[in-house]
Amino acid sequence: MAAIPQPARAAARLSDIPSVDRLLGDAGSAALIARHGRSQLLSALRALLSEAREQVLRGQASPEALAVATLLAQARDRLAVAARPRLQAVFNLTGTVLHTNLGRALLPEAAIQAVVQAMQAPANLEFNLATGRRGDRDDLIGELICELTGAEAATVVNNNAAAVFLMLNALANRREVIVSRGELVEIGGAFRVPDIMQRAGAKLREVGTTNRTHTADYEQAITARTGLLMKVHCSNYAISGFTHSVEVDAMARIARAAGIPSAVDLGSGTLLDLTQWGLPKETTVRQTIESGADIVTFSGDKLLGGPQAGLLVGRRELIQRIKKNPLKRALRVGKLTLAALEPVLQLYRDPEHLAQRLTTLRLLTRPMGEMRQQALRLQAHVQQAVTRQYTVSAEPLFSQIGSGALPVDQLPSYGLGIRSSGAGRGGKALHALEQRLRQLPRPVIGRIAQDTLWLDLRCLEPADEAAFTAQLEAPDA
C-alpha cells in the first residue's frame, strides 16, 4: 500500500481529558442515565477516562478521541453490550430436535402460560387448599404421573441425573448395586453411571460382559450386601451383533425372588407408544412398570417434551423412602418447573391432539412435504443473503431426535445445503459463513458436514419463518 502522508496531529494532553462531571452533565448523558442508571454510567465513564489517561501518557491519544461526544458514544456501546442478555433465542437448524446444548424440549403454549402465571401470582405450591394446611408439592402432579404411567407413586427432582442419584442414595447407600457391564454408560455432560453410583454411596457390582449379560449373571452376584438391581437405558449408543441383555421383566423377577428392589433408568421419558406417529419404537414408562420394575427414572425434557426435571415413579413404599431422604430437599424442583410440567402431562391425557399440541412431538412428526415446501420457499432468500459466493440448494437430509434418545434412528427431513462456489478452500468459506450466521441478532445454528453447511428446517416452524428471513434481508446479514 502506498504511504499516504498524514498531517502531523497534535498529541492530546492530560488537560484535554474532560472531567466525569462534565460528561455526566452533558445532554448526551441524560438518555444513558434514563436507560442504564447513573451508577452504571458513572462506572463506564470512569473506566473510559482511566483508559484515556493511559493513552495520553503513552502519547497515543488524539484530541478527537477525548471529545465529549466520542467518550459518551463509547460509554453507550459498552453499556449496551453489558446489558445484552447472554441467554439468547437462536434458530436450531442443527437437525437435532432435542439438542442438549440448545436447551432440549420447547414448551407447549399451555406450559408457557402456566409458567408466566406462576411467576406473577402466589400459588398453592405447598398449600393444601382443602384443609388450609401445609401441602406437598409432589401432590400437584403425582396423580397425573401415576395415571399416565400406571405407577403407584411418583416424585420429581431437578433432572434425571438427580433422580438416579437420589434413588441410589435412598435405596442402596452402603450397599451393592448390580448392573450389567453393557449398561455402564456415559450420557455426556459427565453423567457416568459408575461415578454417580460412587457419589451416591452405592457400590457398583458389574456383571456380564460388554456385549452379553444373562439372568444367571444377576442371580450369582446377589449377596447379603446387595441393595438394588438396576438397568440403565443405553441412550446414546447401540450395541449390535452378538449381544444379549436381560429384559426388565427377568431382572425384576430375580430381584423380587431375592427380596431386593429393581430399578430402571429409562433416560427418555416416553409416555406413549411413538410408533403410532411413525417414530421409532421406544419402551414406555408404563411398559417398564408393567414389566415389574419397582422404580423407573426418566427426564422431563427429552422425549416427554416438558421442562428440565427428573421423574421417579414406582412402588409407594420405595417412593416414600426416596422422598424422606434429606437429599430430596436439596434436589427438589421449583414452582416454575411444576407449573410447566403439569400442563405437559395433561396433554398426554388426550393422545389425539398430542402431535399438534406438544411441541417436541409436533417437530418430530412434521410432514416431509411441508418441510420440502419450506426449503423451496427459503432457498432464494438464503441464496440472496449469502451472495453468489455460495450455492444454496433444497435437499432431503436426516434429522436426529437427540438427547441420546434413539441414537441410531434418523428422521428423514428437508433443509438447505450451502456449499462454497469457489473451487478449493471451500471449508474456510463455509466456516466463515457458519460464524456469520451465528452472529446474527437471533443466531442461526447449522451443522457442517461433507463440505456443506446444512440448515435442517425441521425445527423452523412456519410461525418463525418470517423472523428467520427478515434478519437475512437486513443489510449486514
Ligand X SMILES: *Cc1c(COP(=O)(O)O)cnc(C)c1O
What's the CA dihedral at 31, 35, 41, 43 to 10 degrees?
A: 180
Closest distance to ligand X from the beta carbon of 304 (Å)? 10
**265 or 282: whose CB is closer to ligand X?**
265
**45 or 358: whose CB is closer to ligand X?**
358
**94 or 403: whose CB is closer to ligand X?**
403
Beta strand spans in 165-215 (E): 176-180, 203-207
Cell representation of residue 460: 423452523
What's the CA dihedral at 165, 169, 171, 172 to 10 degrees?
A: 110
Cell representation of residue 378: 427459503
CA-to-CA dists, residue 188 to 44, 157, 211, 214, 292, angstroms: 40, 19, 21, 27, 28
Please pick, from the candidates 99, 233, 357, 458, the single residue that binds ligand X as defined by CB under 6 A: 233
**368 or 408: whose CB is closer to ligand X?**
408
Closest distance to ligand X from the beta carbon of 83 (Å)? 31
Report which residue's Cβ sits closest to ligand X.
Answer: 267
Please pick, from the candidates 75, 187, 204, 433, the single residue that binds ligand X as defined by CB under 6 A: 187
For residue 450, which phi and psi values (nearest 5 degrees)? 50, 50
User: CA angle, corner 290, sides to 287 and 293, nearest 5?
Assistant: 100
Tell whether residue 360 is a contact of ligand X (CB under 6 A). Answer: no
**Residues in the chain, total:** 477
**98 or 445: whose CB is closer to ligand X?**
98
List Cβ neighbours of 357 (8 Å cut-off, separation of 6 or more).
Answer: 108, 109, 110, 347, 350
Tell whether residue 307 is a contact of ligand X (CB under 6 A). Answer: no
Please pick, from the candidates 299, 359, 399, 420, the single residue that binds ligand X as defined by CB under 6 A: 299
Closest distance to ligand X from the beta carbon of 100 (Å)? 7
Please pick, from the candidates 29, 149, 155, 235, the single residue that binds ligand X as defined by CB under 6 A: 235
Range 264-293, binding ligand X (CB under 6 A): 265, 267
**Residue 183, burial from CB neighbour count under 10 angstroms (0-12, 13-18, 19+):** buried
Choices 199-207, 232-240, 408-416, 422-430 (CB under 6 A): range interacting with ligand X: 232-240
Choices 51-59, 142-150, 157-165, 374-382 (CB under 6 A): range interacting with ligand X: 157-165
Rounded to a whole number of angstroms, the distance between the first and last alpha carbons of the chain is: 29
Helix (H) / strand (E) element for 312: namely strand 310-314
List Cβ neighbours of 124 (8 Å cut-off, separation of 6 or more).
Answer: 135
Choices 57-65, 83-91, 231-239, 385-393 (CB under 6 A): range interacting with ligand X: 231-239
Judged by CB under 6 A, the number of residues near ligand X is 14
**405 or 445: whose CB is closer to ligand X?**
405
Closest distance to ligand X from the beta carbon of 236 (Å)? 7
Choices 88-96, 122-130, 143-151, 153-161 (CB under 6 A): range interacting with ligand X: 153-161
Choices 51-59, 230-238, 288-296, 370-378 (CB under 6 A): range interacting with ligand X: 230-238
Tell whether residue 332 is a contact of ligand X (CB under 6 A). Answer: no
Choices 136-144, 216-224, 228-236, 442-450 (CB under 6 A): range interacting with ligand X: 228-236
Please pick, from the candidates 191, 253, 277, 384, the single residue that binds ligand X as defined by CB under 6 A: 191
Please pick, from the candidates 182, 343, 404, 417, the single residue that binds ligand X as defined by CB under 6 A: 404
For residue 266, which phi and psi values (nearest 5 degrees)? -80, -20
Choices 138-146, 159-167, 199-207, 407-415 (CB under 6 A): range interacting with ligand X: 159-167
Which amino acid type is present at position 351? Answer: P
**359 or 403: whose CB is closer to ligand X?**
403
Cell representation of residue 75: 460509554
Cell representation of residue 337: 418447573
Q: How many angstroms separate the CA atoms of 25 and 9, rounded?
A: 29
**Residue 335, burial from CB neighbour count under 10 angstroms (0-12, 13-18, 19+):** middle
Q: Which residues bind ligand X (CB under 6 A)?
A: 159-161, 164, 187, 191, 232-233, 235, 265, 267, 299, 310, 404
